[in-house]
Chains A and B, each alone.
Chain A
Amino acid sequence: MDSFLSSSIFFGVFLSLAGYSAGLFVKKKLKLAIFNPLLIAIIIVIAVLKAADIPYKDYNEGAKYISYLLTPATVCLAIPLYRQIAVLKNNFKAIMAGITAGVLSSMGSVLGMSVLFGLTHEQYVTLLPKSITTAIGMGVSQELGGIVTITVAVIIITGVIGNIITEPVCRLFNITDPVATGIGIGSSAHAVGTARAFEIGETQGAMSSLSIAVSGLVTVIMASVFAGIY
């Protein structure tokens, strides 16, 4: 049985979708931010793999086909953004200011806490691109001499955390404007957060999508400056 699950092509995708569906069900029943569908799905997948003793490599042999769709899906984020292009034009300066502030506070807070924890330069630059999309973050980390595998892990964890904390953070800091909510989510939690932003509304989702591209590009420019500080 185990060897069958390991060799099955559809098991990985099936398990991922089943985990997410279970997550949606729990979220619907218990309306609490901590019961995040993505987080529940991840826990279910890891638990099943552990329990059935299936190596991650075998699971990913099938599951990689959904990851494969990530690039076309990111390309499609331009569609809601185009629908909301008037919102972008009307608030252009505010949006750019918000994203730039996000990038600076991201790298600034990583810098501050790295000094506080006495991390090495290598560990510091590994964490520097944590709030941007994986593909850009990997490139930045590599360029600065970081540990790319940890960067990838931290970027994903950041996204999942952002996906979960959206509602409490927006409530706590009284962020109610849909444009501001979207920019906040996208700047802090890239595409994983954006998935959550779309569940809140199309404007939020579109603004979050925009932040992925812009904050990624601003980070590429600013990261080497920050890397030189510590």
Chain B
Amino acid sequence: MVQLVCRKERGRMKYLKQFFIIIAISFIGEVMKEIMPFPVPASIYGMLIMLAALGTGIIKLSQVSDTGDFLIEIMPVMFIPAAAGLLDSWKVLKPVLVPVSVITVVSTVIVMAVSGKVTQFAVRHGKREKDS
């Protein structure tokens, strides 16, 4: 019975601890952004720190994965406020709408196709080399 209570307690603290680690790394990322002279945002520093911490074993996957997977799952929703903000930038966008729209659509297709194709070619080429 006592054990059961303990386990439940630990289970509840699980999310608290995981959220704490994630926010702590986000904060360290912010500090890095402040110190370093590059135009790199806190989130990218944080991502690299998290990867390094997992890679070196300082943080175990199980110490962040439940909360991390939750945040990634709801991530698309986090873009809605910024995208709805296009409502406010409509005035600046309107005069250049045609060229900007064409450039945006065409270049997004080109980039996706080129980077995907180059990667696919190189992946298959690499595999063939290893096999032979």
- Tell me if A222 counts as interface (CB < 8 A to partner B): no
Q: Does B83 lie within 8 Å of A119, measured CB to CB?
A: no
Tell me if A's interface is mostly helix, strand, loop or mixed.
helix
Tell me if B's interface is mostly helix, strand, loop or mixed.
helix
User: Chain A interface (Cβ within 8 Å of chain B)?
Assistant: 12, 16-17, 19-20, 37-38, 41-42, 45-46, 49-50, 56, 59-60, 63-64, 66-67, 69-83, 85, 91, 93-95, 97-99, 101-102, 105-106, 109-110, 113-114, 117, 119, 123, 127, 130-131, 133-136, 139-140, 143, 147, 149-150, 152-154, 156-162, 165-166, 169-170, 172-173, 175-177, 179-181, 183-185, 187-189, 191-192, 194-196, 198, 205, 209, 211-213, 216-217, 220
A205, B72: Cα distance in complex, Å: 10
Chain B: number of interface residues, binned into ranges:
35 or more
Q: Does B22 lie within 8 Å of A109, measured CB to CB?
A: no
Neighbouring B residues of A77 by C-beta, 8 Å: 47, 72
Q: Does B119 lie within 8 Å of A185, measured CB to CB?
A: no
B122 interface neighbour in A79, A94, A131, Cβ under 8 Å: A94
A37, B89: Cα distance in complex, Å: 22
Q: A165-B112, A170-B116 are in contact. List 14 more A-B contacts (CB 8 A).
A: A41-B76, A42-B84, A71-B30, A71-B46, A74-B46, A76-B67, A77-B47, A83-B61, A105-B115, A119-B99, A140-B39, A150-B92, A179-B119, A195-B76
Q: Does B86 lie within 8 Å of A127, measured CB to CB?
A: no
User: Chain B interface (Cβ within 8 Å of chain A)?
Assistant: 22-23, 25-26, 29-30, 38-44, 46-51, 54-55, 61, 64-65, 67-69, 71-89, 92-93, 96, 99-100, 102-126
